Structure 1
Amino acid sequence: MKVRQTRLDERVVASGLAPDLDTARRLIMAGEIRTGDRVWDKAGEKVPADQPLERKERGLPWVSRGGRKLERALELFPAAGLPGVAGARCLDIGSSTGGFTDVLLQHGAAAVTALDVGYGLLDARLRADPRVTVRERTNFRTLPDDAFPDPFDLVVTDVSFISLRLIVPRAFRFLRPEGAVVALIKPQFEAPPDRVEPGGLVRDPAVHREVITGLQQAFAADGIFLHALAPAPIVDDHKNVEYLSLWKRQEMLPPYDFSFPLLERV
């Protein structure tokens, strides 16, 4: 059966790589849309309606800007007990195009399982890497407890439209006892709806503090404790401030107290 053809810029939008056609055309002109090693450079070019596409920004050492966030965590958190990545078995929940997976591999991870509820999102280079196991169309929340035969050393997660309360406690079921979770806290998906401004913004530092302390209290009830927290690098000036967090089974006494100014941009 003949596959329907569509314009490249329309396919970029349909793939979720751009919010609208104008943005799609700018990305194409900038050489950031590709399939494997092929760079697509003509917005009006006809492509199959199911053509796999990826976005790769020029000048970045990772397949997406999200890699900058995990890179920052790997710089800051070893002093707080983050296990070494070299030689580790890792799980990336919400892997998307693979920014976090790419960082883990570049830091010497022995194996990374890239898990996402979506399909066809992971960068082609990472997909072909023998150290990467791809678990697509997979809802982490509904995985059976025996989904992974061997425990992981480290779990990393950057998810949207879902609270970490549904992700982090379950992640510890698949970790070694001394393992850790690095999670990106997104206040807009943790705060009550009436505390979120139009457009999904959360600019009140009191709400950010409530979100973080709320997660601390909820996870502590499951024997999971916050060991480090830091503002994530900003990759878009029009988005919320997010926070990198490190969680472990080992209790912190006294509990970790974050004293830096919230809403700080780095």
Structure 2
Amino acid sequence: MQKSRLDHWLVNNLNVATRSKAIDLIKRNFVSVNDQIINKPAFLVDHNDQIKINNQYSFVSKGAYKLLKLLNEIDVDIKDHVVVDLGASTGGFSDVCLQLNASKVYCVDVGVDLLDPKIANNPKVVVYDKTNVKDLSVDMFAEPIDLIVGDLSFISLKSVFYMISNLASKSTKVMLLVKPQFELGYKIASKYKGVIKDKNLQNEAVDLIVSTAKEAGFECLHTTPVDIFDPKKQNQEYMVYFKRYE
């Protein structure tokens, strides 16, 4: 049976208006083939494949799209990766990794029973509730770690890089969400009532983490601002991608 490019299929069979719109949907991870997210427009499909356009509720939380935005901008395949999710909460970042075919995800959070049941009950998931990320050690993980992701609140990322350095091998990828309100100190956060709109201060927060990472032996390979929906009430946050220096 003749196969078709996925972007062409969406236009010809699922009423997507234009090919450029189809490509956008695919690259933003809104399209699944046989229940697996596919982000390559040239991926070949046929009538035997189950092809769906997913909406924003395809993930357990909107936080998922912060990690997705970074992954869409860098050439990194996380298939078969062993992942540690720091500050997993309901599991948005974990959900992304699982849907992109990670082999195992360790969900770490200081809270209890926060994970969405979809994530908590996944056989690929190991749950570390009531666990401070600063207390993690290599012997808590059965396999070498391929990827560390993190969405942490009420804590500076500067305080976790020593732990990350101990967990990471030379090939481990690190993708973290930088939140300026937790990096610039209480005085500045209070001055701006928790929402730091000053672009220079936002950049300063990112630079602080990049500098801390460098001291711990990690190189910043990419940064990107995440999408926000209400600039008056939400802080502009940034996803940052690190690897150890060669």
Structure 2 unaligned blocks of 5 or more = 1-54
- Secondary structure in 1 aligned to 2:172? strand
Alpha-carbon separation, structure 2, partners of 1:193 and 1:161: 11
Is 1:89 the counterpart of 2:82? The answer is yes
| Identical counterparts, % of pairs | 33
Match of 1:239 among 234, 237, 240: 234
Quote how far apart the aligned CAs of 1:198 are.
Answer: 4.4
| Runs of 4+ with >3 A deviation | none
Letter in 1 for 2:86: I
After TM superposition, list the pairs within 5 Å mapping 1:1-266 onto structure 2.
Answer: 59-78=56-75, 82=76, 84-196=77-189, 197-237=191-231, 238-250=233-245
- Deviation sequence 1:191-239 (CA, Å, 0-9, x none): 0322223431111112112222222222212211111000012154421
Q: How much does 1:245 deviate?
A: 0.2
Secondary structure of 1:199's aligned partner: coil
- CA deviations on 1:54-107 (whole Å, 9 max, x unpaired) are xxxx851100110111111111122xxx4x211111010000000111110000
RMSD of aligned alpha carbons: 1.7
CA distance in 2, matches of 1:193, 1:151: 37
Find the residue that maps to 1:91 and give its secondary structure. Answer: strand
Q: CA deviation at 1:147?
A: 2.1
Measure the CA separation in 1 of the matches of 2:145 and 2:205.
Answer: 27
Q: Distance in 1 between matches of 2:228 and 2:90?
A: 18
CA 1:116/1:208 → structure 2, altered by over 3 Å: closer, same or farther?
Answer: same
**Equivalent pairs, count:** 190
SS in 2 for 1:200: coil
Distance 1:173 1:164 in 2: 15
SS in structure 1 opposite 2:203? helix
TM-score normalized by the length of structure 1: 0.67
1 or 2, which has the higher helix percentage? 2
TM-score scaled to structure 2, two decimals? Answer: 0.73
- Does the aligned pair in 2 maintain the 1:191–1:211 contact within 8 Å? yes
2:87, 2:108 within 8 Å by CA — same for their partners in 1?
Answer: yes
Unaligned runs of 5+ in 1: 1-57, 252-266
